[in-house]
Structure 1
């Protein structure tokens, strides 16, 4: 995540019982300058071409070493003919959105990209114009706030299940907590135990399909003074050389399936 921890915490608290996390990738300038760009007009492009494009912001490319977008999307097997939902993509300039949206919308194969942005009342209200029960894949990238804060986390996972068609998939990448420590409901550390999410997914009706180590970081001991926020990009604890040497957080990468 590239938003400051202060912005994220205030954003969460400001929605009275449920904090909607908008993942702001890159600098504010990079994001807002892309607000009006229609990525669907990019034309057919491969994932490789989009990831390596000279049009991608340099700060996005710099984070590929931690986020591995090509490997991650290949692991999830995102295809251009799919109807794909992304939860809290951070606007048109979002890290994954500016790869996935042109890949889907520009292919001309009948696929569609549906961003579920913050501030819309989801899941108390279903997402407008989203064809529930017809989505091929829902994707969650480090948007872990709805797993922990405010309204019951299970409600959000349940609604993801409703979005998908029978046989549809849910892919998630999130900051992996220390499995020897029970999940803190307040998530002061910023980490989410993979087992905590898996239990919610299976309760919703999902079947666990597979996991990948592509976004793992064994250097992340998860015992930092300010938890996740000691690491880049927040570097809340100071000692930047130490925490830059660790890199961004250790992350679990899971794929689930709706039976049918």
Structure 2
């Protein structure tokens, strides 16, 4: 009997995991909220015209969200008397872009109340920000669900003082690899999405420890050289890394 129960539980767990993995799809809101992606794009265009550094803020916000419990918008949750949320953790105190996500959510609620998740709003806004900053536009699967747990104590984000090895370990924990790490590091505060970051790395002009080490690690140096020489390859791989991060 115990073996039978264990087998049934295993099947249920696998079924849940498969269902979760297959829940994201392109144009998830095509029927339930067909204007969703257009609304996100319009609000992003408006704010980008006022603040061209917005994409960098949203990318960092999205990254910090995905790094803790997956891309579930838990970083957007406010603290309560009984719970200190992710927002309050030291790495998240300088995050910005919350008001833009709030505005997009408000606009979407007017059109299709309770349909579009905050997790998808953040992912889509970040995607549009990448394109506005000069990156490649890319199709993004949607269908993310908002998380119900947000805890200060779960936040462990790789910082600028990390070595390449330490940062890679953290990235591998969320199914990203050395190429993704090297590629996503180009999202500087100014976030002009070009290869100037890698040029600085190769000239040993990087300031942060993690960035500096890219020039002295064989595989990351080769990637930096490739990106400097082939900007289109960089933009394509940046888009691919963003899709992996969002999944």
TM-score by length of 1: 0.26
TM-score by length of 2: 0.27
Larger RCO: 1 or 2 (CA < 8 Å, sep 6+)? 2
Decide which structure has greater strand share.
Answer: 1
